Amino acid sequence: MKRRIILSIIGLISYSQLTLGQTGLSISTNSPRHADILCKVEIPYISAGDRGIDIVWQLGEITNNSKDHLQLVNSNGDTIAIYEEGRILHYLVRGDTLYNKGIQSRRAHQILSNERPLLCYPFQYGDSLAGSFMGEGHYENTKYTVCGYGYTVADGMGSLTDEEDTLRHVTRLRQLDDYVLDYGKDGIEHILEERHQWYCAGYRYAVLESVVTSVYVDNSLSHADSISYIYLPVMQMELDEDVANEQILVELAEKDLSNGLAGSSQGAGSLTQITTALSSDGQSLTINYQLDACSDITFVACDIMGNMLASVQYQNKAVGSWQECLVLSRKPIGGVLMLNIRCGEQLLSLKVVQE
């Protein structure tokens, strides 16, 4: 059975209407945070798709058989260690640049003396970063050297969708690493690794990652492995408060409203004189409204990323003045709620801000 997670019901927005600053990566909004615990889920490989602007990529789906993995971030000044099942990933920060330092597990390690530059903050669509790297490794009783070249480019902007749900305001990074492992008398191994990461504005981690590893055999490239991981925002429960990203989510919701994606009434209907109020604790929404004719009516309350928090539906609601109180499943992000209403043929979307 598929785990259905509603991500957005508002619709798509053209990226020509956004500034790059809203969708680029920065230290304050996207750098790894100490003590973060991220949940990533292994899914079948998702193809990288196209590059460019206004691209729609596949999000992939989670099933009951999908494997969950946890990542723990340990940041100490300019060093970062990410602990995950069976290994530790090491990174280094110099100024505004993030470098790959190496990897270790119980029986192996690889440490780069000349680190691979991964990101230089801020990093926006069209930006790129490249550099060579080298170091030494140890696999059980075998030693080797590693030498290679890699680059990172922000090559796409658009949205991620599984055809039913959508994550918008996404920037995609492409990382390509071409390197050689030299085992001395035991020969060499020539590897090409391509990694794509999709970052959604308002979240500090990549929401989707796809990796393809290939090996050169007799000067021909042969596929070795491919895998994807999904980091859905609703699954990240062990994160500290993130004021900067919450503010981005609020600003994007306001921009959506100003561009006409929400906040307008369509069609003739019987709903009039509507007022709304979000409780001081953010746990309930009160709606007062007037019906001038008997009508079917539906209320759906969502946070600014489209996650449904409450809903109610009535058939043939009688004429009169009514009050509805929706109990929310949780406090909305940033204290901002989107209320979507269908009354007959009338459609209405309202933004409700906690006082």
| 33 lies in the same domain as 162 | yes
Domain assignment present for residue 4? The answer is no
| 344 lies in the same domain as 297 | yes
Domain assignment present for residue 1? The answer is no
| 248 lies in the same domain as 270 | no
Q: What is the pLDDT of residue 350?
A: 82
Answer for the pair 263, 350: CB distance below 8 angstroms, yes or no. Answer: yes
Domain assignment present for residue 10? The answer is no
pLDDT in tens, 92-126: 999 999 999 999 999 999 999 999 999 999 999 99
Sign of torsion over alpha carbons 6, 9, 237, 331 = negative
pLDDT in tens, 283-310: 999 999 999 888 889 898 887 766 788 8
Domain assignment present for residue 230? The answer is yes
Tell which of 200, 231, 254 closes a domain: 254
State the residue range of the domain holding 218: 15-254
The arithmetic mean of pLDDT across residues 310-323, rounded, is 90
C-alpha closest to that of 89 among 107, 69, 109: 109
136 Cβ contact partners less than 8 Å away, ≥ 6 residues apart: 110, 111, 113, 143, 144, 145, 146
pLDDT in tens, 181-221: 999 999 999 999 999 999 999 899 999 999 999 999 988 99
- The mean predicted confidence, pLDDT, of the chain is 85
The domain total for the chain is 2
pLDDT in tens, 43-91: 999 999 999 999 999 998 888 888 999 999 999 889 999 999 899 999 9
C-alpha closest to that of 246 among 339, 350, 331, 125: 331
Which residue has 């690794």 as its token pair? 193
β-strand partners of 32: none
Asked if pLDDT for residue 231 goes beyond 60, the answer is yes
Domain assignment present for residue 274? The answer is yes
Domain assignment present for residue 107? The answer is yes
pLDDT band at 222 (very low <50, low <70, confident <90, very high): very high
| 179 lies in the same domain as 277 | no
Domain assignment present for residue 298? The answer is yes
pLDDT band at 265 (very low <50, low <70, confident <90, very high): very low
Stated pTM of the model: 0.72
Q: What is the pLDDT of residue 256?
A: 57
Give the Cα separation of 174 and 166 in Å (integer): 21
| 305 lies in the same domain as 181 | no
| 81 lies in the same domain as 224 | yes
Neighbours of 16 (CB within 10 A): 8
- Residue 231 one-letter amino acid: Y
pLDDT band at 179 (very low <50, low <70, confident <90, very high): very high
Q: In the chain, pLDDT over 70 holds for what percent of residues?
A: 88
Q: What is the pLDDT of residue 195?
A: 98
Give the Cα separation of 294 and 316 in Å (integer): 6
| 76 lies in the same domain as 29 | yes
Q: What is the pLDDT of residue 302?
A: 84
Domain assignment present for residue 8? The answer is no
Q: What is the pLDDT of residue 27?
A: 87
| 189 lies in the same domain as 309 | no
Q: What is the pLDDT of residue 255?
A: 64
| 188 lies in the same domain as 270 | no
C-alpha closest to that of 263 among 8, 10, 7: 10
Exposure class string for 128-149: b at 16+ Cβ within 10 A, else e? ebebebbbebeeeeeebbbebe
| 246 lies in the same domain as 270 | no
Q: What is the pLDDT of residue 11?
A: 27
For the chain, give the longest Cα–Cα distance: 88
| 81 lies in the same domain as 20 | yes
Tell which of 196, 225, 254 closes a domain: 254
What would you report as the CA-atom Rg of the chain, rounded to the nearest whole angstrom? 24
| 189 lies in the same domain as 245 | yes
Which CATH number fits the domain that encloses residue 267? 2.60.40.2550
β-strand partners of 291: 271, 320
